[in-house]
Amino acid sequence: MSATTSEEDPWPVRTVARKIAEWVDRLGAVWVEGQLAQVNARSGTAFLTLRDPAADISLQLTAPSSLVRDAGGAVTEGSRVIVHGKPSFYLGRGTLSLRVDRIRAVGLGELLARIERLRRLLAAEGLFDPALKRRPPLLPHTIGLVTGRDSAAEHDVVRNATSRWPAVRFRIENVAVQGGLAVEQVVGALRALDRDPDVEVIVLARGGGSVEDLLPFSDETLCRAVATCRTPVVSAIGHEPDTPLVDHVADVRCSTPTEAGRSLVPDLAEETARISGLRDRARRALHGWVDREQHRLDDLRRRPVLADPLRIVTSREGEIADARTAAHRAVLRRLDRSSSELEHLGARLAALGPTATLARGYAIVQLADRTDDDVPPLLRSVADAPAGTGLRIRVADGAVAATVTTTPDPET
């Protein structure tokens, strides 16, 4: 479609609409897969809305009502279908639609095969890694709950949690849990709860259903949204055999909403009984310890050294007295021996010294006037005296003193 208009020569609306219709009409027929969000087949022409489950995009379909009736239960709201049709532009309203001539429901085997391929893809990216799993807090401040409005899953989670811990708080986000709007609403609620600082754990809860009913919880967009949450996520989808992909991505997987309600908070009665039991154990342990220490003190007090502290002093007192007596005797004996040895040495010294000789009348004579030597020489006999030497003997008080003098006269 070439642009041959200008501000001075614009095209009318009908011309633009016709040219768009001509351009769309040149497009060929296509196969399209999606999820039916709305089905209206009351008149001869059925009007359907085909929605992309992974994005907020939809496409209007038109088909003969007989085509929809012949498809039976395959063409219902929420069904996954594959349609074949040709794009067309309706001039009257200026809308684009897909004129459908064939509708085929996506089979269960095909759905399961697609889920399996997505499972392998997410596992290869590490979204199922156990190391990434976070443990929810023991007693969360607020629990975020994403579930259907007035659903049995909501009642199961809330009832079981409040019966175990009456003070538990919930922030509930009611969303569509199946159909074409489920993924978008669940992802929006999940992100809103993740931004709330009071919410410490988020629960995705839904009752059981067919594979088609649980298909939103195996959607790639929802799985990636759960993986990016900063808050721990608990998945409680369906019953025990149901395992949508979000179970593998979530931090905790509960088989049913009832189990989720029981695992979110501790049981008040059990915790009270546990605390009481721990207190009793602590009391018994403390009493046992005190009793053991008391017995130990009693044993120590019964020991002789503590029962009679002076006993050891008394018993050692006699030993000390005996030791002192023995030491005194040893010292006396030593003094006696030393005194005897001293007297013996004195007698020997007196016998060898000049005192005894002098006592018998002998004298020791020294020259007194010799000045050439410091000590006068010993005069042993008169013959040894030099010429002019005189001997003067003086007796006083029983002592004899002799003095040798030298005179000029030899005859003196």
398: left (phi over 0), alpha (psi -120 to 50) or beta: left
**Tens-digit pLDDT profile for the chain (412 aa)?**
555 677 778 888 888 888 888 888 888 888 888 878 788 877 788 888 888 776 668 888 888 888 888 776 667 777 778 888 888 888 777 888 888 888 887 766 677 777 888 889 999 999 999 998 999 999 998 999 999 988 889 999 999 999 999 999 999 999 988 877 788 899 999 999 999 999 999 999 998 877 777 888 888 899 999 999 999 999 999 887 778 899 999 999 998 999 999 999 998 998 899 999 999 999 999 999 999 999 999 888 888 777 777 777 887 888 888 899 999 999 999 999 999 999 888 888 877 777 766 776 666 665 555 455 555 555 555 555 555 555 555 544 555 555 555 555 444 4
Global pTM value: 0.55
Q: Which CATH architecture has domain 13-106?
A: Beta Barrel (2.40)
SS in 3 state form for 124-192? HCCCCCHHHCCCCCCCCCEEEEEECCCCHHHHHHHHHHHHHCCCCCEEEEECCCCCCCHHHHHHHHHHH
DSSP 262-296: HHHS--HHHHHHHHHHHHHHHHHHHHHHHHHHHHH
Domain 112-266: give its CATH superfamily.
Answer: Hypothetical protein af1403; domain 2 (3.40.50.10550)
